[in-house]
Chain A
Amino acid sequence: MARVRVGLFVTCLVDLMRPRIGFASLKLLETAGCEVIVPETQTCCGQPAWNSGDAPGAVALAKKAIAEFEGFEYVVVPSGSCGDHIRTEYPNLLAAESEWRDRATALASHTYELTDFLVNVLKVDSVPGDYAGSITYHDSCTGLRSMGIKEQPRALLAKVKGVQLKEMNGCEECCGFGGTFSVKFGEVSAAIAERKCDNVLASGAKAVVGGDLGCLLSIEGKLRRMGNETTQVLHVAEVLAGRV
């Protein structure tokens, strides 16, 4: 069988803050037999512009990403939020331009969040990672409610030797990040994050794991400010891929 050709959309936040999540995604896809290409010109999917009310900026960035990624068999994103922006919002925000709308719809139809792709397209039966300890999973809002990412990361984590999943209360509740919300209403955002962190700590898990770096930065930042130094905050790709 020919190798599946995948374009990896790294996301701007992973590029800036946690390159290892990008490398972990790369490793997972390559281990599963994909040919992975990382278009060098990629920047941001444009979600911050769209959610801040800058439609022209969002449209320009959407067109850029479509041109960069439409040639791939699949596009994979290690984020439910950015993945959904491509999958759900690109066709919406380009609704007025029929040619671009069709290209957006075509791209949307083969764009996947990482864990969803591994489980539902590649149907992987093993992952390279190993992690000794208990994990609690934070369901990021957009991935969960818009892309249906719920069982996929759990199914994959169950394949990691040594992982014990401990569900926390309110795992589906928002962590308070909300993109620009976190820097516009910092105190409210942090107070919401505190509830999430209380639940993480109450679970007793060694690590809190999620699929969206924005949430993870908010949770890690709040845990440390609360004085917790021990709970690890990891992207699901990092746990699944092991050392990269």
Chain B
Amino acid sequence: MEIKSMSFKANAAGSLANVVLQGTLKNTKGKFVTKRAEAIKDLDDFEATRDAAAAIRNKVIDNLDLWLERFEQKALDTGATVLWARDGAEVCRLVTEIAKKHGVKKVTKSKSMLSEEAGLNQALEAAGIQPVETDLGEYILQINDNEPPSHIIAPVVHKGLDEVADLFHKVHGTPRKTDIPALTREAREVLRSHFLSAEMGLSGGNFLVAETGSVALVTNEGNGRMVTTLPKVHVVITGIEKVIPPLEDLSTLMRLLPRSATGQSISNYFSILTGVKKPEEHDGPEHLYFVLVDSGRADVVGSDFHAMLRCIRCGACMNHCPVYQTIGGHAYGWVYPGPMGSVLTPLYAGIENAIDLPHAATLCNQCGVVCPVKIPLPDLLRKLREKQTERGLRPLTERIGLRLWAWVAQRPTLYALAASFGARYLKWLAAGSDRIRVLPTAPEWTLGRDFPAPQGKTFRELYAARRKTASRA
């Protein structure tokens, strides 16, 4: 997918000015947060479960090569084929080759963020193969000229009902309707023929189970089951970090994933798919492929950002992020929005291609406290800022300003003088009022709010004067 993260600031300004988006953000903000808060109450010991989940994920990513080999061996034993993709281009090439090998004309897809990373739909279309998104949200985006998703589990959360009504009317040529069940029924009817006619189904994978060589899929619409069981070929595309050791660990992670994501105790559908159709079985794919993708993940192993590989893609961090709640996902400019996206985008798409993202956070740590696998997201964002500084990627004025400030702050006499001057300068700017309307030294602050006036003298000045008076008395 094309990276538009460098224009984050302009993207964010656009989001703030988008009335429809602001309305949908306001409507959904509370829902995600409240539902999750309610759902985690079911667990006797939520914190201990988080610790256990983090430990499970650590166990894998600390020895990723080993667990991947185990998974590969088990998957091969079940009759699956395991392929490895270095990057998005390789994903596109491998999937296109698989499709061609089996004479596939149409591919039904359930949600896969890796397919977004790789830009797979465009590659399939270019090869004359028709991809059909079957997750309702993804379907809406696909028929809207391949619009990118704005959220990892609720891809179309930015759209209002009216927009979807207009789109269905235009694309399906049916009378315009705003009744949600009717719209859903319309999508089902359109998708049904695709489900039945596709020769290949493509899914992501929430977890790969090393013990059994299975893929676990967490979905809510049932489309995942259609995609993975009806066509004769099933292709799973997933990141190499998604392995978990034994099947038993799934139960721990599944106590957290739906609760953290949508506030459900369990998703509507939860499938564990193992191997190809056996002679005595009535359904399932004849051919099963795993495309296991690196795309920057292997470089993260053992780095300062190692903990990020624990991520199970629940979306809780973005749902609780004050910045995401204000601007939505598109502003982040790539596949993954919110705090996890602000870490992943620089790591996977290049630190120099996402200069603003690590800074686009207040470090409030709301993301860190809701993360089901305890990823210290603010620490990782801060670490990325450090890497940017080390590589000289921040604007020169900012770097000089920071160094100068830190230099002065190490020299108390000079600092006292500078602070005293600063306090008076700000007081002068306020021109006798209690506020500054335009702050020339930090104009961004006063774009949307005033800057309160200072008292005029620094604490250290007043304190010294007070001590003097006291000692004289």
- A residues sitting closer than 8 Å to B (CB atoms) are 10, 12, 14-20, 22-23, 38, 40-44, 46, 48-58, 60-61, 64, 141-142, 145-146, 173-174, 176-195, 217-218, 220-222, 224-225, 233
Contacts and interface: CB of A to CB of B under 8 A. Distances in A.
A15 B458 contact: yes
A145 B326 contact: no
B268 interface: no
A23 B385 contact: no
Nearest to A42: B412
Nearest to B323: A188
Contacts of A46: 406, 409
B366 interface: yes
Nearest to A216: B452
A181 B455 contact: no
Most chain B C-beta atoms within 10 Å of own C-beta, residue among A23, A48, A221: A221
Nearest to A185: B360
Contacts of B446: 186, 221
Most buried by A among B322, B443, B444, B454: B322
A53 B410 contact: no
B9 interface: yes
Contacts of A17: 423, 426, 452, 454-455
A193 B444 CA distance: 14
A52 B402 contact: yes
10 contacts: A10-B459, A16-B423, A53-B388, A54-B389, A145-B368, A186-B443, A188-B360, A189-B448, A192-B323, A221-B446
Nearest to B415: A43
B460 to A, nearest CB: 6
Contacts of A14: 459
Given A186-B446, A188-B12, A193-B449, A19 B385 contact: no
Contacts of A145: 364-366, 368-369
A38 B403 CA distance: 26
Contacts, number: 204
A193 B445 CA distance: 11
Contact of B444 (A40, A56, A183): A183
A174 B446 CA distance: 19
B447 to A, nearest CB: 4
B462 A19 contact: yes
A51 B462 CA distance: 30
A192 B362 contact: yes
B410 A141 contact: no
Given A22-B463, A221-B452, A174 B362 contact: yes
A221 B435 contact: yes
Contact of B406 (A22, A54, A189, A190): A54
Interface of B: 9, 12-13, 16, 322-323, 325-327, 356, 359-366, 368-369, 382, 384-390, 394, 398, 402-403, 405-407, 409-410, 412, 415, 419, 422-423, 426, 434-435, 442-452, 454-455, 457-464
Contact of A192 (B326, B384, B409, B419): B326
A53 B365 contact: no
A186 B13 CA distance: 10
Given A186-B444, A188-B12, A178 B361 contact: yes
A15 B419 contact: yes
A244 B387 CA distance: 45
Nearest to B455: A19
Nearest to A50: B382
Contacts of A23: 459, 462-463
Main secondary structure of the interface of A (DSSP, over half): helix
A193 B448 CA distance: 9
B13 A187 contact: yes
Nearest to A226: B449
A201 B403 CA distance: 40
Shortest Cβ-Cβ A-B pairs, 8 listed: A190-B448, A178-B362, A186-B444, A57-B406, A53-B385, A53-B389, A19-B459, A141-B364
B362 A141 contact: yes
A220 B454 CA distance: 12
B448 A51 contact: no
Given A187-B12, A188-B323, A192-B362, 18 more contacts: A17-B455, A19-B463, A22-B459, A41-B412, A52-B402, A145-B366, A174-B362, A176-B322, A181-B361, A181-B363, A184-B356, A184-B359, A185-B360, A186-B447, A188-B360, A192-B326, A195-B322, A225-B450
A188 B443 contact: no
A51 B381 CA distance: 9
Q: Which of A15, A38, A141 has the most CB of B within 10 A?
A: A15
- Max count, chain A CB within 10 A of own CB: residue among B356, B365, B398, B463: B463
B447 A187 contact: yes
Contacts of A179: 362-363
Contacts of B415: 43
A55 B445 CA distance: 25
A64 to B, nearest CB: 6
B310 to A, nearest CB: 19
A179 B363 CA distance: 9
